[in-house]
Structure 1
Amino acid sequence: MTADISEAVGAHGPAGTTPARPRRRPRRNKVPEVTPYFWVIKILCTTVGETAADLLNEKLGLGLTGVSLLMSAVLAGVLVAQLRTAAYRPAVYWSAVAMISVVGTLLSDNLTDNLGVPLEASTVAFALVLAAVFAVWFRSERTLSIHHVDSARRESFYWLAVLFTFALGTAAGDLVAERLDLGYSLSAVLFAAALAVVAAARSTRALGAVVGFWTAYVLTRPLGASLGDYLAQPVTDGGLGIGTVVTSVLFLTVVLILVVFLTVTRRDASGVDDGSPREG
């Protein structure tokens, strides 16, 4: 009899009270907080993506199509590992960003070099595809917040958007540096100035968090690529002539050091998402 009363009270609560709802299990965000470390590593990964894509295309002898297929297969494996993690893991996350940087570069290069698509057309096309990804993402999830990338579907939208930001940034960067003949160093200054404008607009709240973040994400791609090309390309082509091997190894080493630092310190970990709304 006592057991029956206890079970009844535990299931329905005391007379006249509302049963307690089970607490929702907290969800962990799968991407890092946007800190200065985030932007530094992102630009470095972008530079590695640009120089590594050129290096692989030159050294492997597989041709642009063969290298693209190989790197896409590697990216698929890294993304599977990322999607299977329960929370943000710096090593896995930034490996995915670095590989997407390579594949996004190759995606743009294939359109230009293999299919003969003008840079103006590919830039517009990638911008439209990216806008479509954001539209479907928002329609599905009602948010584009990077503070709530806490489900497989949201994370899939996130990585699809990242891929096309790299492809768009590659096409736009090549358009400015080569077609408009501004050169690598001047292009880097131009894109750095554009980023400064975005940062100023964010600081004055003239630009929303979501729009500001993704605009900066696109712009850091041609900035990093211009820096990489400036260091790696021959002096006769407007670079410093350091070469793709040295440039790739140098920047990749810095990325690895920073990723190890963040893994140990957790300086960019966002913690548990309790479901409360946050800007951006």
Structure 2
Amino acid sequence: MMRKLPHVTVVFWIIKIVATTLGETGGDLLAQTLKVGYLVSTVIFFAMFLIAVVFQLRSGRFHPAIFWTVIALTSTAGTTLSDYMNPTGGIGYTNGAIILASGLAIVFIVWWRTGQTLDVENLATFKGELLYWIAILFSNSLGTSSGDFLADDLGFGLRQSAFVLSAVMLVLLAAHYYTPINGMVLFWIAFVLTRPLGATVGDALSKPTERGGLNWGTTWTSAALLACLIGLILYQANQLRRRPLDPLPAPVHRRTGAPQAPNGTLITVSS
């Protein structure tokens, strides 16, 4: 089976941060600058996400353009959903973060009980990949709430929050290389934290100077980030042409060790 998800490398994290930063500014561009509103923007981005994720689930191998489009759309949908829940809906950043963290925990519990592998580089079944995308949607929404909680409720501000989150990411990187902490635990912590990192960087670029930003505006910031994202996707696609990803190992059920079909069902072998 061909791999449908990329290897987790330095390039992966660079593109992830750019995509999630674009999600922050792109969500604000539609909801605030164009005055569409957070509720309508959330519906629009969720519809776009569902279309893109269907293409991803039906694809037979890893396509950088499709994969990163889905990631960016989970970020934009997560941004508008979080902003609709928290300031607009009156839930507040703290409660919003708690709700979304609880939702993400439930997804991981369901994922664990299905027996699908949690190794995101070796997902080989439809069920496993579907759970992967649901977890990413929750994690990017949680990341938006977490970033706002850090910047506003805790009073760190935009730039200081970006520095704090960057420092935490460096700690996670060191933990990956120098501690026995499970790699998938570190991956998902980093995945969640790159979202508020992207959100604070996006706000620091686009917000007015009186709010601690550089006042680039959502339009110009989104355009610059989109150009950067397209360039990185083209680079990754060129690298794939030069060195294709290795095929996946045969999928097995995590708890039973039995082989699985691509749809996630167990394969029984009769004697």
1:220 aligns to 2:194 (yes or no): yes
Distance 2:57 2:64 in 1: 13
Write the mapping of 1:173-192 to structure 2, written as runs, cut at 5 A: 173-192=147-166
Distance 1:269 1:130 in 2: 32
SS in structure 2 at match of 1:28? coil
1:261 aligns to 2:235 (yes or no): yes
1:150 to 124, 132, 136: 124
Structure 1 residue 76, shift from structure 2 partner: 0.9
Distance 1:226 1:95 in 2: 21
Superimposed CA distance per residue, residues 40-86 of structure 1 (whole angstroms, 9 cap, x where no aligned partner): 01000111000011100124433211111111111111111111100
SS in structure 1 at match of 2:121? helix
Structure 1 residue 141, shift from structure 2 partner: 2.5
- Shift of the 220–263 alpha-carbon distance from structure 1 to 2, 3 Å rule, reads same
Distance 2:179 2:246 in 1: 26
Distance 2:21 2:35 in 1: 22
Give the equivalent residue in structure 2 for 1:166: 140
Counterpart residue identity of residue 62, structure 2: Y
The ranges of structure 1 where at least 4 consecutive aligned residues each deviate by more than 3 angstroms after the TM superposition are 267-270
1:274 to 224, 234, 249: 249
1:139 to 102, 113, 117: 113
Write the mapping of 1:67-86 to structure 2, written as runs, cut at 5 A: 67-86=41-60
Counterpart residue identity of residue 272, structure 1: P
RMSD: 1.6
Superimposed CA distance per residue, residues 151-194 of structure 1 (whole angstroms, 9 cap, x where no aligned partner): 21111100000001101111110001011121110000000111
Give the equivalent residue in structure 1 for 2:265: none
Distance 1:197 1:178 in 2: 23
Distance 2:207 2:34 in 1: 19
2:25–2:222 Cα contact (<8 Å) kept:
yes
Distance 1:213 1:41 in 2: 15
Write the mapping of 1:1-280 to structure 2, written as runs, cut at 5 A: 27-266=1-240, 270-275=245-250
- Shift of the 269–233 alpha-carbon distance from structure 1 to 2, 3 Å rule, reads farther
Distance 1:270 1:255 in 2: 21
1:32–1:268 Cα contact (<8 Å) kept:
no
**TM superposition score normalised by structure 2:** 0.89
Number of equivalences: 251
SS in structure 2 at match of 1:147? coil
Superimposed CA distance per residue, residues 197-222 of structure 1 (whole angstroms, 9 cap, x where no aligned partner): 11111111332110010110011111
- Shift of the 276–163 alpha-carbon distance from structure 1 to 2, 3 Å rule, reads closer
- Shift of the 198–77 alpha-carbon distance from structure 1 to 2, 3 Å rule, reads same
Counterpart residue identity of residue 144, structure 1: L
- Shift of the 273–215 alpha-carbon distance from structure 1 to 2, 3 Å rule, reads same
Counterpart residue identity of residue 234, structure 1: P
1:47–1:224 Cα contact (<8 Å) kept:
yes
**TM superposition score normalised by structure 1:** 0.86
- Shift of the 81–268 alpha-carbon distance from structure 1 to 2, 3 Å rule, reads farther
Identity among equivalent pairs (%): 36
2:39–2:81 Cα contact (<8 Å) kept:
no
Structure 1 residue 114, shift from structure 2 partner: 3.1
Counterpart residue identity of residue 85, structure 1: S
Counterpart residue identity of residue 124, structure 2: D
2:33–2:218 Cα contact (<8 Å) kept:
no
Structure 1 residue 259, shift from structure 2 partner: 0.5
Distance 1:269 1:245 in 2: 36
Give the equivalent residue in structure 1 for 2:268: none
Give the equivalent residue in structure 1 for 2:260: none
